[in-house]
């Protein structure tokens, strides 16, 4: 095991100091009628504590049917086990008693229909309307709802899987997918690199495939696949760019699976097969920073992994930084700067609205799912931009490439990151930035006042036009917005004051047709502004948007905004009643929290 397991992961019952899983082998049947995965998980074990006679695994809502030990010859004998009471955050510890330290255990089990890491969709909830669809989302601690295992990012293991399901559907995993595999309901997979549990992923549905490069393809429902292949056509360019900066792509293929609109996240960096929301398919490739982000995780996150969810900024801050470097190299500095300024502005608004302890890069967490904050992503990236600015791009690029090589296939803590940073960057070029300064970024709230921010003449011009419109010196039609790109519209809408009049919003919509915008990012901001101003003419389209899409980032803030007034709350509840069946369990939980909080 790695030295990193020394810091206890409070979101797992596992005891990796005593024993670790060194390989996982799954044999599962996909049953859409019962909404369950059923079969077995076989764990290979490395025992570290000679006294240990118990294996503790993480589970959530799993039905355990039996546990057996397998000896070196593969002979099985039944083991005693018990399932602890369910903790609302952690699930239930599965305690397996052994009389000797077996090299392997096998657990027979099936999942629950409400498994927090799986979404089961009816044909009506898909684009094609003919076949059901199922997909997993294991990050951060949801793998345990479909596989009994040590569900902590501190432990890494290769895996294999045999999965049977309905004929005519395709099964894909975060492993070696074969685009030419016959749709015979019988699939086998291998992931030979050691990965943490949160990167276990599976999806089953009516999936077509389209190549986008020599080592990349998109998987999507047949009616979506051509659009997705067009949008993601620059994937190979992005891979080559990142390899030039940070060394070889180590995972073989980089495919993208486009999920139904209910997918709760923008993207999930499942190795070899990124899962992505269809809400970035705009038709003009203006939101493909999402692919840059998920691809960047092939280095920051999947290769060098946070040892526990408190340290998530090691995954997301590094990735957000690398994402912006990829966008700059492929789409130019103007777009990269615009994207960072938009993200930084959002972060600075968050700083005002968030208690200081939550703003630290290594916060105390009540739930592992709370780790994914703007602070982990944008403040983390901003720290790396600061290091780049202080040490110069050339030196920092060399440093970062060395960091990825040094910690490749390891799970690390912030302390380990600092222990490597000091001799390899800070002390190497003395006087540029001290360890104390770096620690202040990590352990204090807010963002230091001298944090470097790019300037964008385009965005400055838009801010000036916006002010004139707000002051009534320009009508909306005179905003000169015809050639604004997606990011420029996002920036314009982000900077609107809290309260606009219905007349102002009507003026804006009449000129630029924001209501019903097919661009999900622009629409999000428009509906937020409409909800704040209680602009009723937007409600029909707003409800459609919130019902069609289940991506939390896009819909949850609108619910939160609506919930601030009694009438808005009534409307939000009405929309949710219709939208709920199409939402992922994680989105349901977030919306219910937003609606109950008032």
Q: Closer to Zn ion by CB, 225 or 295: give it.
A: 295
Report the nearest approach of Zn ion to the CB of residue 419 (Å). 24
Distances (CA, A) of 12 to 59, 150, 151, 412, 516: 10, 7, 6, 16, 43
SS3 326: helix
Q: Closer to Zn ion by CB, 274 or 504: give it.
A: 274
Q: Which residues are catalytic?
A: 294, 377
Nearest to 330 by CA among 232, 403, 398: 232
Q: Closer to Zn ion by CB, 277 or 319: give it.
A: 319
Cis check: omega of the bond before 473, within 30 degrees of 0:
no
Using CA atoms, how far apart are residues 361 and 249, in angstroms rounded to an integer? 27
The mark string for 285-324 relative to Zn ion (x by CB under 5 A, - otherwise) is -------------------------------x--x-----
Using CA atoms, how far apart are residues 280 and 257, in angstroms rounded to an integer? 13
Report the nearest approach of Zn ion to the CB of residue 133 (Å). 23
Using CA atoms, how far apart are residues 323 and 298, in angstroms rounded to an integer? 11
Report the nearest approach of Zn ion to the CB of residue 374 (Å). 12
Tokens found for residue 320:
């957000």
Tokens found for residue 412:
């690390």
Site for Zn ion in 90-129 (CB under 5 A): none
Report the nearest approach of Zn ion to the CB of residue 137 (Å). 13
Report the nearest approach of Zn ion to the CB of residue 140 (Å). 11
Q: Closer to Zn ion by CB, 314 or 546: give it.
A: 314
Using CA atoms, how far apart are residues 485 and 97, in angstroms rounded to an integer? 61
Q: Closer to Zn ion by CB, 371 or 490: give it.
A: 371
φ, ψ (nearest 5 deg) of residue 229: -65, -35
Q: Closer to Zn ion by CB, 275 or 559: give it.
A: 275
To 10 degrees, the CA torsion angle through 110, 114, 115, 118?
110
Using CA atoms, how far apart are residues 268 and 372, in angstroms rounded to an integer? 12
Q: Are 447 and 382 in contact (CB under 8 A)?
A: yes
Report the nearest approach of Zn ion to the CB of residue 297 (Å). 6
DSSP 456: -
Which residues of the shown chain bind Zn ion in the complex (CB under 5 A)? 316, 319
């Amino acid at each position: 095991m790695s030295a990193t397991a020394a810091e206890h992961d409070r979101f797992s019952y596992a005891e990796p100091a005593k024993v670790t899983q060194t390989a996982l082998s799954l044999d599962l049947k996909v049953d859409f009628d019962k909404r369950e995965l059923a079969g077995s998980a076989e764990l290979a074990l490395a025992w570290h504590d000679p006294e240990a006679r118990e294996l503790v695994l993480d589970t959530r809502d799993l039905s355990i049917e039996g546990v057996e030990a397998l000896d070196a010859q593969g002979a099985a004998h039944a083991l005693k086990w018990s399932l602890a009471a369910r903790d609302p955050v952690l699930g239930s510890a599965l305690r397996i008693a052994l009389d000797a330290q077996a090299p392997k255990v096998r657990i027979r089990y099936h999942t629950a229909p409400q498994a927090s890491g799986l979404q089961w969709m009816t044909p009506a909830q898909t684009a094609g309307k003919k076949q059901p669809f199922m997909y997993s989302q294991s990050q951060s601690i949801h793998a345990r709802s479909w596989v009994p295992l040590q569900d902590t990012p501190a432990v890494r293991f290769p895996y294999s899987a045999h999965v049977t399901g309905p004929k005519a559907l395709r099964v894909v995993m975060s492993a070696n997918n074969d685009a030419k595999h016959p749709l015979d309901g019988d699939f086998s997979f291998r992931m030979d690199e050691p990965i943490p549990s949160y990167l276990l992923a599976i999806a089953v549905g009516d999936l077509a495939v389209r190549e986008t490069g020599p080592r990349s393809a998109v998987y999507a429902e047949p009616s979506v696949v051509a659009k997705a292949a067009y949008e993601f056509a620059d994937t190979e360019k992005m891979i080559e760019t990142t390899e030039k900066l940070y060394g070889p792509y180590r995972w073989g293929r980089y495919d993208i699976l486009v999920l139904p609109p209910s997918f709760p996240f923008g993207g999930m960096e499942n190795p070899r097969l990124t899962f992505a929301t269809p809400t970035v398919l705009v038709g003009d490739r203006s939101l493909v920073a999402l692919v840059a982000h998920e691809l960047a995780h092939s280095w920051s996150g999947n290769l060098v992994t946070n040892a526990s969810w408190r340290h998530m900024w090691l995954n997301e801050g590094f990735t957000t930084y690398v994402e912006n470097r990829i966008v700059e190299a492929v789409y130019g500095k103007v777009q990269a700067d615009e994207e960072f300024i938009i993200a930084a502005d959002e972060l600075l608004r968050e700083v005002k609205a968030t208690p200081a302890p939550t703003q630290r890069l290594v916060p105390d967490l009540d739930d592992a799912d709370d780790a994914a904050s703007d602070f982990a992503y944008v403040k983390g990236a901003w720290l790396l931009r600061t290091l780049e600015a202080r040490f110069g791009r050339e030196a920092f690029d060399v440093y970062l490439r060395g960091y990825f090589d040094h910690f490749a296939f390891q799970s690390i803590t912030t302390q380990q990151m600092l222990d490597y940073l000091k001799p390899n960057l800070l002390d190497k070029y003395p006087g540029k930035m001290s360890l104390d300064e770096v620690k202040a970024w990590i352990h204090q709230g807010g963002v230091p006042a001298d944090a470097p921010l790019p300037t964008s003449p385009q965005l400055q011009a838009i801010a000036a036009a916006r002010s004139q419109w707000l002051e009534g010196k320009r009508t909306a039609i005179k905003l000169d917005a015809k050639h604004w790109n997606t990011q420029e519209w996002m920036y314009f809408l982000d900077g609107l004051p809290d309260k606009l009049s219905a007349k102002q919003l009507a003026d804006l919509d009449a000129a630029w047709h924001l209501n019903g915008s097919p661009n999900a990012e622009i629409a999000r901001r428009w509906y937020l502004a409409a909800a704040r101003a209680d602009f009723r003419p937007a409600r029909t389209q707003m409800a459609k948007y919130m019902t069609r899409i289940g991506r939390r980032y896009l819909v949850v803030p609108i619910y939160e905004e609506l919930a601030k007034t009694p009438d808005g709350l009534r409307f939000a509840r009405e929309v949710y009643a219709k939208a709920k069946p199409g939402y992922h369990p994680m989105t349901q939980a977030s919306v219910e929290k937003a609606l109950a909080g008032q």
